[in-house]
Homo-oligomer: A and B are copies of this chain.
Amino acid sequence: MSELTEMKCIACQAGAPLATAAETEKWKPKIPDWEFKEVEGIQRLERMFDFNNFKETLAFVNKVGAIAEDEGHHPVMLVEFRNVTVSWWTHKIKGLHANDFIMAAKTDQL
């Protein structure tokens, strides 16, 4: 079984399958700091990252931006003075795709 951090996002179309319960159970322990949160009926992975100052905060936003561009999958980020809340989900399928678990794990690596 591949580690999430070694996997690549695959192009995802509307109609692609949501992560199954079995996949979710398998991947959940690999991203223990992420909260499974439902917003307007759509599941997302959410984690807040804390920093010492705004410069560090902005540097992190750019690092997340860089992996998002690399993988062609983009999060929503709530950027505050000393923290960033990152949310991953797949808009096209209104929920969590394997890609979101991959990106959460890659975000943890930054």
Contact = CB atoms under 8 A, between A and B. Distances in A.
Interface of A: 54-55, 58, 61-62, 65, 68-69, 74, 76-81
8 contacts: A54-B65, A54-B69, A62-B62, A74-B80, A76-B80, A77-B79, A78-B78, A78-B79
Copies, count: 2
Contact of A79 (B55, B69, B79, B81): B79
A105 to B, nearest CB: 20
A101 B78 CA distance: 21
A55 B62 CA distance: 10
A107 B69 CA distance: 25
A76 to B, nearest CB: 5
